Amino acid sequence: MGNMLKDKVTIITGAGRGLGHEEALAMAKEGCNLVINDLGAAFDGSGQETKIADEVVVEVQKLGVKAVANYDSVTDFNKAKAMIDQAISEFGKLDILVNNAGILRDRMLFNMTEAEFDDVIGVHLKGTFNMTRHAAAYFREQVKANESLGNFGRVINTASDAGLTGNLGQTNYGAAKAGIASFTMNAAAELKKYATVNCIVPLARTRLTTDATPQMIDIMSKLDETGLDVFNPANVAPMVVFLASDNARKINGEVFRVVGDRVMLFQGWHTVNQIKNDHKPFTPQLLADRIRELMKGAPKRENLYALLGDMVKM
């Protein structure tokens, strides 16, 4: 057992399985008390089973920390507030929020229904807003009452390569995840006096990468040349523990991809090249004549499948 998070209190959404489960175990091993939130739904958000969260509560309690379950959906603004209140009522405070809950409703854009778009945006992007909004109000209130706390709060969000590098069939999921990365940067600036807000981009074997997309099972089960289980979700959890700790007090507004034995720093939208027209507006024809000049200097976009192949030498 470590003590990096000793006596801290964390809410982890979607903590019943996959990444959230591994994050809960890793944080518990560092002495953190936990609110384990999980609706107990299938990967597409259907159904509900309370025992999923209950089982994780028992598992982390065996590691010597306190834990309680929560079964609510992060899509409900008021229930998100109740989750913050639950942590404070049970443990007397809240230090850390890990926004991990997610679902998939993959569909090519020309076939996607309104509900498939709205539901995915609702869980990922609105859910991240709901939880962070109420946690932020609490963190601010605490620091205003006691400035010596400094930026004690920690928020760790979860984005995806689907939003930052793109992926077929996931315009809904990708838009939500890109939104979360942007939300992270903006929230970090607004909350810097009270909390840090950072984001991870995990590449890991979960229900969203295997159950939802069976063609990924073979790739996600591969070992690298040393025998490392590259896509084991347990590989991601240590970065979450670090970002949740006091050691990360000066890390704010950053986005990190985490996979296998690698942590990669993402940079968001930024200018990579430009063309000028001597203080005169461009005309459509002049743009047509010079667009290749603009595009020639742009670096190639990252490709998710090329990265996967590099990790396991496919």
| Catalytic sites, residue numbers | 160, 173, 177
Q: In what side-by-side order are the strands of the sheet with 9-13?
A: 67-70, 33-37, 9-13, 96-98, 153-158, 195-202, 255-259, 262-266
The residue among 116, 258, 254 whose CA lies nearest residue 173 is 116
Written as six digits, the tokens of 51 are 């025992």
**Distance between CA atoms of 275 and 204, rounded to whole angstroms?**
40
Radius of gyration of the chain (CA): 21
Written as six digits, the tokens of 190 are 């607004």
Q: How far is CA 113 from CA 44, 119, 209, in A?
A: 14, 10, 21
**Distance between CA atoms of 225 and 104, rounded to whole angstroms?**
31
Whether 252 contacts 150, CB under 8 Å = no
Query: Which amino acid makes up residue 268?
Result: G
Report the interhelical angle of 237-244 vs 18-29 (nearest 10°): 50
**Distance between CA atoms of 241 and 198, rounded to whole angstroms?**
12
- How many CB atoms sit inside 10 A of residue 213's CB? 18
Chain-centre distance of CA 143, in angstroms? Answer: 25
SS3 for 159-200 is: CCHHHHCCCCCCHHHHHHHHHHHHHHHHHHHHHCCCEEEEEE
